[in-house]
Structure 1
């Protein structure tokens, strides 16, 4: 069969399926109305503590007759819909992967029938989780959320992630052959806990647009959801309060001599500016063990201020990337730009060892909403994220001295 004919048959099949689901919904609504009317008659009789009148008896008998007929209609319609659904892969589209077709996504969005998706659904909860869509959203978010691409990612199935971190203090020793070996001190350990919290996005589209067969449902959901998720998550990973959201990397206590869980901070020599010695001091302030994989995070204004600084040989210390997609460098280390960083601060360190971004295995849950905004279909998407510093020794902040 020609591809064009298959597509036309698929469009007609999808249209019929949507109409049948709408008809089934109407039948159930009519049934609810009949039950309400019957209950109203019975309630009136019971409240007035009397026998049923002849007219009421006739009305109730008619309502029961209509209910019997509509129950039979619903039963047949539901059975037929279930049988036709099993033919989707044979007569219209053959599923070759776990990725649902645009037709199946449209059926879910238009009718709320999650069974048509065939994958990643929860009928009891009334939501859908589409693994292929979840992966697309995750990839797009990694490109848009700075710390998701730099920090250590963790995926959990519980409400929080816990990590044991060494704070040092361990000892070793030397011994000659046959010499007695004394017990050495062990490292002190502390526990870091990062909770996950709900992040939601609520993209909407008109019913008319969704009715168009060339409208890519998955692409719309992925772009809208990832954009809304990315904006809020990126901000929270930098300045989140830690209550109902991630604890931002910039919100931790800082000190020139930091304790466990505090980030080291140094200040510029002169008020309001960064110079060559300040940037050198920032590099030196990070313990050598963390320098190999270290990088910088700053905003555009801070980067611009550094671009004119030269070292003692006359070479610029800040070099713009010559290859698309590659980061700029400062003293040979990558520079990542994010506008959540303030003008007067530069973060330096091994971000992967210093900060962890946590996500939940449940993925992005979708619930259809055609009620709250008439004329629009909205998808309430929810995912769970957390974030927190795990090894504060891996991070240092250079801050401009106040005037």
Structure 2
């Protein structure tokens, strides 16, 4: 007997098999998508971690970007809660000179921001010292050289002459304040805030001192150094050469010739890496100066982040430079890396003060900084005079 199987049964079975196959494929696709999303989230988390690590200043020899036990004890123990015992147990520190030396990582953050904010610091030669004083001998003459034959006698050289450089220094201080509620907030970046506030206050004070400081309990600014019209060969050591602007109240009819003369009073070796330094008011006047054929002397920076240029040399704005006025020195041109030295004691001291201005907590930061002209032939000035 022949059995007839309804065709509907076959169709239903095939349909169900196809449906199961579609569902299986969909589940597999969903699983793959879930895995991909998980991988993407993991990559994003890693990139964010790398980005946060890159935001920290690089520490030479550091094996990890995580805060050290010293930094954690200093920030969370001393700065947030005033517990001095945590600092002593970690580093054996004592409140010498009125405060604790900040950990190296925080000191590097302060130094990094200082360099960005303070224009002269970014140009000058900076040396770290362990004591209050710094001295350097500079050769000013003697030890002449010459040419001789292989077997010829060697004439006696001149007696060397030296000058001592001892940059005047002073105690630089800042006193930022935060409320106790800010310190109690675990999400508040106390380390970054303190470095930024201290660097800002330090930059304002030292920027003025590096330009016009009188050398009494502070650096000797380069504009406070003696000046002379004489050239490098005959000018007394330590005095800066200047040229006149050609007008008692500003610039004469041919300002480009005066600026070109100022550039070429400097030796070619020092011109490599030289910069113009002036404030924004003077720069406003300089940007309007034109050559005889109507071309502007000032050239804007072609790349973002690059300084503007004047006669091919970068222009650095330093607001502590004087304005254009009779007898003033509003424009400096120099290789400050060779011409000006900043000597500073590397450790910044911090003293936590929760009592003076309650409910605010002050952080009294101090640092010893000195500065002086190093090579007077590397910095030239323009004076507003006939």
2:265 to 279, 285, 302: 285
| d(CA) in 2 for partners of 1:221, 1:165 | 38
Report the equivalent of 1:256: 229
Give 1:99 deviation, angstroms: 6.5
Alignment of 1:83-162 (within 5 A): 96-98=66-68, 105-117=75-87, 122-123=93-94, 125=96, 127-162=100-135
1:335-385 Cα shifts (integer Å, max 9, x gaps): 111111112321011111110011113x11111111111211111111111
Residue in 1 aligned with 2:174? 201
How far apart in 1 are the matches of 2:168 and 2:69?
A: 31
- Rounded Cα–Cα distance in structure 1 between residues aligned with 2:262 and 2:359: 56
The answer (yes or no) to whether the contact 1:357–1:387 under 8 Å persists in 2 is: yes
Q: Report whether the alignment pairs 1:303 with 2:283.
A: yes
- For residues 251-277 of structure 1, give each alpha carbon's deviation from its aligned partner in whole angstroms, at most 9, with x where no partner exists: 111011231111111111223233111
Which one has the largest radius of gyration? 2
Question: Partner of 2:306 in structure 1?
Answer: 326
Aligned to 1:35: none
Q: Is the 8 A contact 1:99 1:132 kept in 2?
A: no
Q: Distance in 2 between matches of 1:237 and 1:116?
A: 37
Task: Specify the SS of the correspondent of 1:401.
Answer: coil
Residues in 1 aligned to 2:65 and 2:84: alpha-carbon distance in whole angstroms:
16
SS in 2 for 1:270: coil
TM-score normalised per structure 1: 0.71
Is 1:188 equivalent to 2:188 in the alignment? Answer: no
2:335 equivalent to 1:350: yes
- Number of residues of Structure 1 aligned to a counterpart in Structure 2: 308
The answer to whether 1:270 aligns with 2:247 is: yes
Alpha carbons of 1:180 and 1:124: their partners in 2 closer, same or farther (altered >3 Å)? closer
Query: Where does the alignment leave 5 or more consecutive residues of structure 1 unmatched?
Result: 1-93
In the superposition, the TM-score normalised over structure 2's length comes to 0.74
The CA distance in 2 between the partners of 1:95 and 1:146, in whole Å, is 29
Helix, strand or coil for the counterpart of 2:315? strand
**Offset of residue 127 of structure 1:** 2.2
**Over the residues paired in the alignment, what is the CA RMSD in angstroms?**
2.4
- The answer for unaligned runs of 5 or more in structure 2 is 1-63, 325-329
Q: C-alpha separation between the residues in 1 aligned to 2:95 and 2:220?
A: 33
CA contact (8 A) 2:344 2:370 kept: yes
1:372 maps to which of 356, 359, 364: 356
